[in-house]
Amino acid sequence: MKMGKPTGFMEYEREVSRAQEPLERIKHFNEFHEHLPGEKQQLQGARCMECGVPFCQAGMMICGMASGCPLHNLVPEWNDLVYVGNWEQAYNRLKKTNSFPEFTSRVCPALCEAACTCGLNGEPVSTRENEYAIIEYAYEQGYAAPRPPKARTGKKVAVVGSGPSGLAVADQLNRRGHSVTVYERSDRIGGLLMYGIPNMKLEKRIVDRKRKVMEEEGIVFVTGVDVGKDVKAEQLLREFDRVVLACGASNPRDIKAEGRDAKGIHFAVDFLKANTKSLLDSGFEDKKYVETKDKDVVIIGGGDTGNDCVGTAIRHGAKSVTQIEMMPKAPDTRAQDNPWPEWPKVCKTDYGQQEAIAVYGHDPRIYESTVKEFVKDKDGKLTAVKIVKLSWEKDSSTGRMCMKEVPGSEQTLPADIVLIAAGFLGAQVYVAQAFGVELNERTNVRTAAGAYQTSRENVFTAGDMHRGQSLVVWAIREGREAARAVDESLMGYSGLTVQ
């Protein structure tokens, strides 16, 4: 492809969407970015260098971290097409590798931008926002309208779980002409897209918009059905030619500390789900969510989920919000041992933390600390959290670095509500047992390396249930690769595009 603007990266500065000010956006639960007009977005496409080695689309592992897009998106191609204003072809090239750019352009941490050559000595190309512009323009112009398959194969596939991996499996297999039914135990499809990610990061109308397209393309969604409990595994195996398990990593890590039984301690996933469900069901009128108004809230966990809890608690009027992280604060700029194009291990102040700074006047995070005790009153109600500082020390017996408590560093924080956002561990056992599939030592579904066939004939797996807790973009890749494996097992070959 001929490069449209060879000097674009020197002529134009990086420009991205403007976020609503923190004190304004905490008044609502909607997305809060004002995106660039089309003409300005095209100039951002001109900044792409179309380098000889486009690390942005490599998706390779460097030092245990992903560098570039795991979907191998054709980034330089559609950046150039954005610049020249060929939006339809940009959409076609984007959809060739990415089943759901409407999701990734909102919630992906933009691994492509972290590996952008422009970012080596300046600001990276605003690739994620170019992606957003492409997909939203495609919906406006009808490019993203339903495209049912022209012929059916007569094969039937059941997908258990409607998160990003399950949806990707369904989308790809349906395009191939197989008849796909997706089972979801919640009342709405989407998995973590629906109930794990707050509305201000991904408005649920976006998930519903895609669901309607997929339904018109022939995919059947069955909600409120918990496979393995409400429907027997053997029934699905009789009715369908293949079954794909895409149920996510659904077991939240717990915090084992004295007083854990105190009233007022919740897992973050339950807190976020109840909040979104109440918002969608009644605009919070039903009060079926964890109330944080005028309460001291302590969040255990420093990742994206912890940040989402910060933003959600603030929107409900929390008196204070504190976020506990075990790890030390990352540097503000790349360290010498973390060179480009490795993923930058730098401190990120996300939207929730920005809002906490605006509301309370300080960063909510306390680093290198862990909970030592949950303090409760005589009625068993949570009143405070005792934390202790941690330090990295070498274990004399193993030689490994480990975290140990710093004597005399205890601190007591007032706490009415504690939200545990410490990550997830493996598949829920009842699903694996229902289908008779083996689990590995990490309690994920076992398969051969690089494969998606489980130990049970005709049963496949994908997503977090297979690889462990990860990003939406990895879930989509897993779903696309699993779909290809299923297709090959059904037809003897596959024409599905994985990358």
Phi, psi for residue 300 in degrees, rounded to 5: -100, 110
Mean per-residue pLDDT over the chain, rounded:
95
Q: How far is CA 199 from CA 41, 207, 418, in A?
A: 25, 11, 21
The DSSP output letter for 333 is S
The predicted pLDDT at position 73 comes to: 96
Is residue 248 predicted with pLDDT exceeding 60?
A: yes
- Inter-CA distances, 454 with 144, 160, 180, 238, 493, Å: 34, 14, 19, 17, 19
Q: Is the pLDDT score of 163 beyond 60?
A: yes
Place 2 in a pLDDT band, splitting at 50, 70 and 90.
Answer: low
Element spanning 195, H or E: helix 192-195
Is 127 within 8 Å of 118 (Cβ atoms)? no
Q: pLDDT category, 41, cuts 50, 70, 90?
A: very high
Beta strand 417-420 with 265-267: parallel, antiparallel or unpaired?
Answer: parallel
Q: Quick check: 67 and 60 in contact, CB under 8 A? A: yes
pLDDT digits (tens, 9 = 90+) for 184-240: 999 999 999 999 999 999 999 999 999 999 999 999 999 999 999 999 999 999 999
81: left (phi over 0), alpha (psi -120 to 50) or beta: alpha
What are the structural domains of the chain?
8-141 (1.10.1060.10), 156-250+425-491 (3.50.50.60), 265-420 (3.50.50.60)
Cα-based angle 469, 470, 474 (whole degrees, multiple of 5): 135
**More confident site: 290 or 250:** 290
The predicted structure's pLDDT at residue 371: 97
| Residue 1 pLDDT > 60 | no
Greater confidence, 216 or 63?
216
Q: How far apart are CA 162 and CA 171, in angstroms?
A: 11
Give 398-407 pLDDT, tens digit per residue: 878 888 999 9
Q: What are 272-283's pLDDT values in tens digits? A: 999 999 999 999
- In angstroms, the CA 300 to CA 323 distance is 6
Q: How far is it, in rounded angstroms, from Cα 306 to Cα 103?
A: 20
Residue tagged 């906490």 (tokens): 356
- What's residue 258's pLDDT? 97
Name the token pair of 342: 């490795």
390-431 residue pLDDT tens = 998 888 788 788 889 999 999 999 999 999 999 998 898 999
Query: Nearest 5 degrees, angle CA 23-CA 24-CA 27?
Result: 100
326 pLDDT above the threshold of 70: yes
Token pair 């005028």: residue = 294
Contacts 24+ apart (CB under 8 A), 55-63: 55/115, 55/116, 55/117, 55/341, 56/112, 56/113, 56/115, 56/116, 56/117, 56/125, 56/127, 57/112, 58/115, 58/341, 59/111, 59/477, 62/341, 62/342, 62/343, 63/342
Q: What percent of the chain has pLDDT over 90?
A: 91
Encode pLDDT of 480-489 as tens digits.
999 999 999 9
Q: Categorise residue 380: left if φ over 0, alpha if ψ from -120 to 50, beta otherwise.
A: left
